[in-house]
Amino acid sequence: MNGEHPFAEYVRIVGKGRHGARALTAEEAHAAMTMIIRGEAEPVQIGAFLMLIRVREETPEEAAGFVSAARNAITRPEAGAPVRIDWPAYAGKRRQLPWFVLSALLLAGSGYPVLMHGIRGQDQRVYAVDALQALGIRASATLSEAAREISRSGFAYIALEKFCPVVHHLIELRSLLGLRSPMHTVARMLNPLDAEVQLQGIFHPNYRDIHQQAALLLKQPHMAVLKGEGGETERNPDVPCLVQSVHHGVEHAEEWPAMFAARHLKDESMDPGRLPALWRGETTDEYGKAAVIGTAAIVLRALGVADSIAAAEAQAAELWRRRPATWLKAA
């Protein structure tokens, strides 16, 4: 081609050496991601761009700009959906089962509709979709189908590739690049059905601030982010848990205490079949039950229906005690 490629400007901004490079503004990040989504950037440019940002970590402004552009690529149902909680599930679990799936179902069955979205990685981790399969819950094929399922049962799961294939493709570049990219942050923040409460689970603690500040920029009404077990939105009951949140433009931070004095060992079986068994009372699992209740308690605080940590934990424990025999409403 003659002359400089238009996307080269964005590579240069983030990669112009130790003293010349700078972070993108939210507007620049939006424009760059829009070009990527439209197929206007070359593969080599996309790889360089994502890895240059990955080295220093994305800023809240970059995350917000990327998310706002990616949301424009999502086709939403015309009628919307009565969803209150957006629950991303992208990390997978390798030390403990994804007990948070039961938390989501517990809340969905208690009048707080949930959309869960995520991926299944190519590694040996146990993902949310594996847990849902063990529970007999089928993934939705489209957002419209997910909206209908939420209206029927209060809960739906949809894979990222079904509602935002371009972001899924960028995430899949990990097998070529050898590293995760900022798109893992973007996927968690997509909130495809515009739920009022957005949950975020991260692994690296410094990403709490990035998610919290990006939520402010995106004007998300309610958001809670925590260093979750394995990087998922799941409270680890063995350790204290700092939850950073946003409520109508105001930042909050609250530290939840550990629920046990001693840590539990790594789960050796990692059998998703234990999730429905715990729900039905066919087995006991001290750690799993605490993770379910503890995670649900954090979400109740994010929903604004409990005015303290103690009240949220008591309310979540009561929801668990009164849980129905089945995890979703019958068709």
- Segments of the chain assigned to CATH 1.20.970.10: 8-71
pLDDT at 1: 62
| Structure tokens, 160 | 């990222």
- d(C-alpha 92, C-alpha 94), whole Å: 7
Helix H or strand E encompassing 117: strand 114-118
Per-residue pLDDT, averaged over 75-87, amounts to 88
DSSP letter at 140 equals B
pTM of the model: 0.96
The SS3 call for residue 242 is strand
pLDDT in tens, 105-134: 999 999 999 999 999 987 889 999 999 999
Per-residue pLDDT, averaged over 154-182, amounts to 95
- Phi then psi dihedrals of residue 268, to 5 deg: -85, -25
- Cβ atoms < 10 Å from Cβ of 258: 16
Per-residue pLDDT, averaged over 268-273, amounts to 95
pLDDT at 297: 98
Cβ-count burial 170-179 (b if 16+ within 10 Å, e if not): bbebbeeeee
Mean pLDDT score of the chain, rounded to an integer?
Answer: 96
CATH of domain 85-321: 3.40.1030.10
pLDDT in tens, 194-215: 999 999 999 999 999 999 999 9
pLDDT at 331: 46
Q: Which of 28, 11, 12 is nearest to 20 (CA)?
A: 12
- Segments of the chain assigned to CATH 3.40.1030.10: 85-321
The SS3 call for residue 250 is strand
Per-residue pLDDT, averaged over 5-34, amounts to 96
Identify the CATH homologous superfamily for domain 8-71: Transferase, Pyrimidine Nucleoside Phosphorylase; Chain C (1.20.970.10)
pLDDT in tens, 306-321: 999 999 999 999 999 9
**CB-count burial class (<10 Å; 0-12, 13-18, 19+) for 240:** exposed
What residues pair up with 116 in beta bridges, in sequence order? 87, 157
52, 61 contact by CB (below 8 A): no
* Dihedral angle sign, alpha carbons of residues 20, 183, 50, 39: negative
DSSP letter at 254 equals E
| Structure tokens, 163 | 């509602």
